[in-house]
Structure 1
Amino acid sequence: MYPPTPDQRDLWLITGRDCTSAPGPGITSVQADFLAAVHAGHGSTCHQFLGAVARRRDAWRR
């Protein structure tokens, strides 16, 4: 696993700022970890958090 560059982090913050839309299906496990951390306190209605957790769960099962 690698840490995201500042440019990647900024892009992820911009594209993942809307809690009403889920992250795209092609997010990496690193991006899923980042989005889950950023949206962790938003509750069960945050689609970014739920999508990131689902991606992390799928990666863990493989």
Structure 2
Amino acid sequence: MLTASTRRPAGENWSIAHESGHLVRGHHDQGISRAERDQHEAVANAFAADTLLPREILDVVDWDRIA
């Protein structure tokens, strides 16, 4: 099992993508400062966002026309 079942697939997808971001970026949090840890979290969040909502797809949406 990759995540604890929450019955929230979107939340589970986010968690998997976020943790994958840590793995891809080679983050190791032992012995680092709080600022470095916060930076790792921001990078993992950006990785998850780009994985789940790719910019190249979002950029072509005409958001002003969506009702």
TM-score normalised according to structure 2 size: 0.29
Rg bigger for which structure? Answer: 2
TM-score normalised according to structure 1 size: 0.31
